[in-house]
Structure 1
Amino acid sequence: MRLLIVEDDMEVAETLAAYLRRNGYVVDLADSLEMAREALATNAFDLVVLDRMLPDGEGSVLIAEARQHKRPQRFMLLTALAGVDDTVAGLESGAVDYIAKPFEPRELLARIRNALRRIMPMAPEVRRYGPLSYDVEATGFFIDEEPFVLRRTEALVLAELMRRPGALVTRQTLEARVYGYDRMVNVNSLETQISRLRQKLAHASTELRIVVVRGTGYRLMLE
C-alpha cells in the first residue's frame, strides 16, 4: 500500500513516515499543496494523509479538487485544528477520517488500516449546462469552474432545474423538492427563492437565466 503524507513540519512527517514504513507501507512526502498536486498528478496512492494548515493554503482544497476533476482518492485529515466545527467540516468535505494532533501512532495506524478498507470513492456525477456544473453527490455548484455558493433552499431549486436543463419544471415539482410533499407552503415562498437565485445567477454569469412560465413553472435557460 502506498501513502502520501502532506505535512509541512518535516520532523513530524519524517517520524510518521519511518513508523509507517516499519509497518509495511510505501510512503511519499509532500510539504506543500504544490508538491502534493504534483505527486497526485503523476502517481497513484491508496491514501493521502493530509494536514490542513500548509504554507501555501488550506490542505482540504485537495479533496475538492479531486472531486472536481473526477479523480477518485481517499483522504485522511491529520491536523491541529481540533474543534468540533473543524472536524465536521473536514468530514463533510469528503475525508474518510479526521484525526487531531497530537496523536497516538498506534491509533493512527489502526485508523489508516480502517480507511484502507473503505471502497475508493467513485468519480462524482457532474452535470453540465453551459458554464454551470453541478456535483450531484456533494450538491455543489460551479460557474466557469469557480464555486457558486447558494443557500440550501436555493441549491435545491437549482438542483431540480439541472435535472433537465431547458425543460419546464412545474411549480408543484419544485415545491415538493424544496419543502416536501406534505407541507403547506406560503404562496410567496417559492417565488422568493427563485428571485434570489435569479439575482445570483445574473451576477455570476451573463449566459444563465431562469425563465418563468406564468401559471405553470420555470425553465433554466442559456442566453
Structure 2
Amino acid sequence: MKILLVEDDRKAARLLAKGLKEEGFAVDVAHSVEEGEEQACYMDYNLIVLDWLLPGKEGIVLCRELRRRGIRAPILMLTARDAVSDRIAGLNTGADDYLTKPFVFEELMARIRALLRRSEPAQPGALTVADITLDPGAHRVTRGSRPIVLTPKEYAILEILMRQAGQVVSRTSLAGQVWKTDLIGIDNLIDAHISNLRRKIDPPDARPLIETVRSRGFRLVKDEPGAMTDEG
C-alpha cells in the first residue's frame, strides 16, 4: 500500500513517515501544495494524508484541486482546527475523513485502515508489461511466476517505466520523480539503480526488458526489444 503524506513540518513528517513505514506502508512525503499536487497527479496512491496548514496555499486548496483533476484516492485531513464549520468545509471540499491535532498514532492508523477498507474496490489495478507484473495495491513485483524483491527506489523507477512502457524516460524525469531533485550530481546514482534493477528483472535466462537509449534515457520495451544501445 502506498501513501502520500503532505506535511510542511519536516520533523512531524519524518516521524509520521517512519511510523507508517513500520506499519508496512510505502510512503512518499511532500512539504507543500505544489509538491503534493505534482506527486499525486503522477503516481497512484492508495491514500493521501494531508495537513490543512501548509505554506503558501492551504491543504484544503490541494484537496479541492485533486478532486477536480479526478484523483479518487481517499484523503485524510490533519488539522488543529476543530470547529464544526472547519470539519464541514474539509469534507465538502472532498476529504474523506478529518483528524484533529494533537492525535495519537494509533488513532491515525485506525482512520487510515478504515479508509483503505472502504476504498478497496477502487484501488489501482496491477500493471503488466510483457511477463512482468507490478501490483501497486500489494506493492509486489513478479516476472512470470518469480517474485522480485526491490528497494523503494528501484520499485519507484520500475513503476515509472511501466506506466510509460515503450516510451523513453529521461534521467531528468527520473531525478525529479524519484529523488525530487534536479539531475546535477546524480547521474551515477541513477545509473547504479538502473543497473541493479536490470539485474533483478533481466536475469541472463530471461528476455531483456530495460533498454538504455543513448543520450536520452531509459525505456521498458513492450514487445520485441530493440537493440541495446548503451548499457550505462
Share of identical aligned residues, percent? 44
Consecutive unaligned residues of structure 2, counting only runs of 5 or more, are: 123-232
As a proportion of its length, which structure holds more strand? 1
Task: Give the drift of 1:61.
Answer: 1.6
The correspondence of residues 1-223 of structure 1 with structure 2, limited to 5 A, is 1-119=1-119
Contact 1:51/1:59, CA 8 A, preserved across alignment: yes
Cα pair distance change 1:115/1:38, threshold 3 Å: same
Q: TM-score, normalised by structure 2?
A: 0.50
Q: For the residues of structure 1 that align with 2:26 and 2:70, how far apart are their CA atoms? A: 25
| Deviation per residue, 1:5-61 (Å, 9 max, x gap) | 100001111101111111111111000011111111221111100011110211112
- Paired residue type of 1:54: L
Q: For the residues of structure 2 that align with 1:57 and 1:16, how far apart are their CA atoms? A: 22
Contact 1:73/1:120, CA 8 A, preserved across alignment: no
- Paired residue type of 1:86: D
CA RMSD of aligned residues (A): 1.7
| Deviation per residue, 1:106-141 (Å, 9 max, x gap) | 01101100011123798xxxxxxxxxxxxxxxxxxx
Contact 1:72/1:121, CA 8 A, preserved across alignment: no
- What SS is found at the alignment partner of 2:78? strand
Q: For the residues of structure 2 that align with 1:121 and 1:33, how far apart are their CA atoms? A: 28
Cα pair distance change 1:84/1:73, threshold 3 Å: same
Consecutive unaligned residues of structure 1, counting only runs of 5 or more, are: 123-223
Greater radius of gyration (CA): 1
Contact 2:41/2:71, CA 8 A, preserved across alignment: no
Q: TM-score, normalised by structure 1?
A: 0.52
- Paired residue type of 1:76: L
Task: Give the drift of 1:63.
Answer: 2.1
- Paired residue type of 1:64: R
Cα pair distance change 1:3/1:12, threshold 3 Å: same
Q: For the residues of structure 2 that align with 1:91 and 1:13, how far apart are their CA atoms? A: 23
What residue is the counterpart of 2:160 in the other structure? none
Q: Which runs of 4+ in 1 moved over 4 A?
A: none
Contact 2:37/2:66, CA 8 A, preserved across alignment: no
Cα pair distance change 1:82/1:28, threshold 3 Å: same
Contact 2:17/2:27, CA 8 A, preserved across alignment: yes
